[in-house]
């Protein structure tokens, strides 16, 4: 076979099989629906024509080719009639044009009669271009072509008119527009075949025309099954993948046959003509060995582009719950949700929206495939208020179109479906899902699963927000403990200054100043005021240090943290308290430690909590002043790790308590009124900063907490 014939053959084979499969598929989807039936008939006619055309061009002799041609024309005869029937049904004209439809079928039967009863339609076949056998048109053939063009044009004109007329339903208008254009291109593709009949083009163009017909078939089938249209991009992608799959299988089979023939000839060491069927059998065995790999590959490719992979909803919910419900970090919850959904549903985009700190806007906390991550919705945006007040789901591409403003809101975030995340009738988040990569719609089963996930997400988000509150409360409780220290730190400089001021005032009251010149008095007063000014700055700096620590914060802000400075700050907040408890701090801090990437506030709370625990443990052990020591070491280790070790000489933790020490509500110091959340919070915060925490302890000797953080990439 020569290349043009192979090319032409493949185009017929693909188009033919595709349309036959579509006919069966569409018919099976709804056997009662006139639209499905008429399309199936239409598609069957084209498929028939395509398959038998293939047989014709590959026939072994001229008479055989002619027989194939006549069989092929059976399908062709019904293309105009079924097309008109299908278009009439689609446009709702089938009652009005009932007789026209019937006449069309009668005309088809009449032509069919002429094919087999006379030689006026086709008598013989003849070579065209490189093709050995192709239709040689008789007189009636030309009449039929004229009839074909007429009916097809009428059908397409009907579509055009309906498209222009439709103005109220934008969705329907879009549907008609697509159908009009795809029909036009499909028929243009078909025209190449007639041009080849009349020697007006070559077979390569005709092959290209066949592919246009195939694309047209897929597009129309999609319209019927989904009540909407495929993106032209997705349409071409799907057709190409199908074609690619088909060709690869075809090439694989041919190659294996060829190879087997060569191999057998080589093995038998003589030129033998091996029976084609034997080598085919052997190559089938060969392919069966490769079957699994080939199947996985084909499934993967088709899953990605052709059909959505069937995910297991139970499995998805389980995996989702496992990772989301135990998580306390809102960002991780959002990120993980997006990842899981994109993976399971093969989404082009996805986002989780939650209210911002002020609560007036919904902002993106986790997203995929969305370019503008900083975008936000006002609380009264159409989409948001619809979700919170009207319905907890929003779906585009349903038969009933959404109100325009809501659609616009959804377009901003590329959403095809939005789900409200509600807790106690309050909207606490929105789950926005983009189109599936396969471009399929969200099915009822998807929606059921997603509603369940939205509920779980609601619980997770609530937990995460509650954790933030608890963290804040724990911090404030710790600050309460610092009250003495704060008062001392602020009281000391004020007391000093006040003593100087009182001395001056009392001296004045008691007449001491009479011995001094006015200039001397002014100069003394000036110096005093100047020192007051400095004292104000000192006191203000101290109070901001504590205020900084107490400041509530909702969202982590990662920044480069200088570890030595961070440790000094934490000790600084604590210094007076430690002094009052006679505890000294021994520092061994490598000043050259590389910065780590962490949230400053979290870091402060981590260090503060551990130092606080150390101080309490030492106090409980009733150590002498010399033995009351907290040692803090910080160093950088070779594998880009920053290690902070905080050891105390306190009571230590019993072994059975060591495993539980980071559990919430586990506490050994009830009498002190600890919340039992301190170390649980510390662990969570360390992990949020990509760090690890571990503890070693010897009962009666002391405890060491080790923090490990990755150094920031520079």
Partner 1 sequence: MTDKIKILLIDDDIEFINNFGRFLERRGYEVLKAGSGSHGIEVAEKEKPHLILCDLIMIDINGDEVLKRVKVSNPDTIFIMMTAYVDDKTKIKLKILGAHSFIEKVVKFIPTEEYIRQVLRENNQVHNDNN
Q: Which residues contribute to the site for partner 1 (CB under 8 A)?
A: 483-484, 486-488, 490-492, 494-496, 498-500, 502-503, 506, 510, 576, 579-580, 582, 625
* Nearest distance, CB of residue 485 and partner 1, angstroms: 8
Token readout for 139 is 């007189």
Question: What CA–CA distance (Å, rounded) separates 54 from 8?
Answer: 8
629-637 and 641-648 as β-strands: parallel, antiparallel, unpaired? antiparallel
- Residues facing residue 347 across a β-bridge: 436
Token readout for 361 is 């806007």
CA distance readout (Å), 496 to 500, 522, 633: 7, 21, 35
* Nearest distance, CB of residue 565 and partner 1, angstroms: 24
- Please provide residue 707's backbone torsions phi and psi, each rounded to the nearest 5 degrees: -110, 140
Question: What CA–CA distance (Å, rounded) separates 533 from 489?
Answer: 17
Q: Are 619 and 581 in contact (CB under 8 A)?
A: yes
Length of the chain: 714
Q: Are 635 and 627 in contact (CB under 8 A)?
A: no
Complex with partner 1: residue 92 or 480, whichever CB lies closer: 480
Complex with partner 1: residue 143 or 494, whichever CB lies closer: 494
Question: What CA–CA distance (Å, rounded) separates 64 from 70?
Answer: 10
* Nearest distance, CB of residue 548 and partner 1, angstroms: 21
Q: Are 223 and 179 in contact (CB under 8 A)?
A: yes
* Nearest distance, CB of residue 617 and partner 1, angstroms: 18
Complex with partner 1: residue 109 or 506, whichever CB lies closer: 506
Complex with partner 1: residue 465 or 494, whichever CB lies closer: 494
* Nearest distance, CB of residue 510 and partner 1, angstroms: 8
Residue 97, SS3 per DSSP: coil
Complex with partner 1: residue 479 or 490, whichever CB lies closer: 490
Name the residue among 438, 415, 456, 458 with its Cα closest to residue 311: 438
Complex with partner 1: residue 319 or 494, whichever CB lies closer: 494
* Nearest distance, CB of residue 579 and partner 1, angstroms: 5
Complex with partner 1: residue 433 or 482, whichever CB lies closer: 482
* Nearest distance, CB of residue 515 and partner 1, angstroms: 14
The per-residue DSSP string of 439-482 comes to -PPPPHHHHHHHHHHHHHHHHHHHHHHHHHHHHHHHHHHHHHHT
* Nearest distance, CB of residue 500 and partner 1, angstroms: 6
Token readout for 685 is 């915060």
Pinpoint the alpha helices (H) of 482-517: 483-509
Complex with partner 1: residue 502 or 540, whichever CB lies closer: 502
- Please provide residue 622's backbone torsions phi and psi, each rounded to the nearest 5 degrees: 50, 60
* Nearest distance, CB of residue 625 and partner 1, angstroms: 8
Q: Are 557 and 599 in contact (CB under 8 A)?
A: yes
641-648 and 702-710 as β-strands: parallel, antiparallel, unpaired? antiparallel
* Nearest distance, CB of residue 673 and partner 1, angstroms: 12
């Amino acid at each position: 076979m020569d290349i043009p014939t192979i090319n032409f053959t493949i185009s017929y084979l693909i188009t033919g099989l595709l349309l036959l499969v579509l006919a069966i598929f569409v018919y099976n989807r709804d056997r009662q629906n006139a639209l499905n039936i008429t399309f199936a008939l239409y598609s069957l006619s084209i498929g028939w024509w395509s398959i038998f055309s293939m047989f014709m061009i590959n026939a072994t002799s001229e008479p055989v080719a002619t027989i194939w041609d006549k069989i092929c024309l059976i399908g062709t005869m019904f293309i105009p009639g079924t097309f008109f029937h299908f278009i009439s049904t689609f446009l709702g004209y089938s009652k009005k044009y009932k007789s026209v439809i019937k006449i069309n079928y009668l005309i088809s039967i009449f032509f069919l009669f002429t094919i087999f009863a006379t030689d006026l339609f086709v008598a013989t076949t003849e070579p065209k271009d490189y093709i050995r056998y192709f239709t040689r048109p008789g007189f009636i053939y030309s009449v039929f072509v004229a009839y074909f063009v007429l009916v097809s044009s009428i059908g397409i004109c009907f579509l055009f008119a309906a498209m222009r007329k439709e103005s109220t339903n934008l969705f329907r208008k879009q549907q008609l527009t697509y159908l009009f254009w795809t029909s036009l291109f499909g028929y243009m593709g078909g025209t190449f075949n007639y041009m080849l009949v009349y020697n007006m083009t070559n077979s390569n163009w005709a092959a290209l025309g066949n592919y246009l017909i195939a694309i047209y078939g897929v597009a129309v089938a999609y319209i019927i099954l989904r009540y909407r249209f495929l993106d032209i991009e997705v349409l071409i992608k799907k057709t190409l993948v199908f074609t690619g799959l088909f060709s690869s299988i075809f090439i694989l089979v041919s190659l294996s046959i060829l190879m087997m023939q060569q191999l057998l000839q080589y093995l038998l060491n003589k030129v033998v003509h091996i029976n084609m069927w034997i080598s085919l059998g052997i190559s089938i065995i060969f392919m069966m060995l490769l079957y699994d790999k080939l199947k996985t590959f084909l499934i993967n490719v088709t899953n990605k582009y052709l059909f959505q992979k069937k995910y297991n909803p139970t499995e998805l919910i389980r995996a989702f719950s496992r990772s989301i419900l135990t998580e306390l970090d809102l960002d991780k919850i959002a990120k993980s949700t997006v990842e899981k959904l994109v993976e399971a549903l093969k989404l082009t985009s996805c986002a989780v929206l939650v209210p911002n700190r002020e609560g007036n806007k919904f902002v993106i906390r986790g997203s995929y495939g969305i370019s503008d991550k900083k975008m936000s919705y006002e609380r009264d945006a159409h989409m948001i208020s619809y979700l919170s007040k009207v319905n907890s789901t929003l779906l585009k591409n349903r038969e009933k179109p959404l109100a325009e403003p809501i659609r616009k809101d959804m377009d901003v975030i590329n959403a095809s479906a939005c789900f409200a995340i509600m807790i106690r009738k309050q909207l606490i988040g929105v789950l926005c899902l983009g189109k599936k990569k396969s471009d399929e719609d969200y099915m009822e089963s998807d929606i059921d699963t997603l509603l369940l996930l939205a509920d779980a997400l609601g619980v997770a988000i609530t937990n995460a927000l509650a954790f933030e509150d608890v963290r804040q409360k724990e911090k404030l409780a710790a600050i309460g403990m610092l009250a003495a220290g704060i008062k001392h730190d602020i009281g000391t400089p004020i007391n000093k200054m006040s003593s100087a001021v009182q001395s001056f005032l009392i001296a004045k009251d008691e007449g001491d100043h009479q011995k001094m010149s006015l200039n001397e008095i002014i100069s003394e007063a000036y110096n005093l005021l100047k020192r007051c000014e400095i004292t104000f700055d000192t006191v203000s700096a101290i109070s901001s240090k504590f205020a900084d620590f107490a400041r509530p914060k909702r969202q982590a802000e990662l920044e480069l943290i200088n570890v030595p400075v961070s440790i000094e700050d934490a000790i600084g907040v604590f210094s007076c308290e430690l002094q009052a408890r006679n505890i000294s701090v021994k520092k061994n801090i490598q000043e050259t430690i590389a910065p780590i990437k962490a949230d400053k506030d979290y870091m402060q709370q981590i260090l503060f909590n551990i130092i606080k625990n150390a101080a309490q443990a030492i106090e409980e052990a009733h150590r002498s002043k010399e033995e009351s020591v907290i040692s803090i070491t910080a160093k950088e280790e070779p594998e880009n790790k920053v290690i902070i070790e905080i050891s105390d000489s306190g009571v230590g933790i019993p072994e059975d308590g060591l495993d539980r020490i980071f559990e919430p509500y586990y506490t050994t110091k009830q009498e002190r009124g600890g919340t039992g959340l301190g170390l649980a919070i510390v662990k969570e915060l360390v992990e949020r900063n990509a760090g690890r925490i571990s503890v070693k302890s010897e009962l009666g000797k002391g405890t060491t907490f080790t923090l490990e953080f990755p150094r920031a990439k520079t």
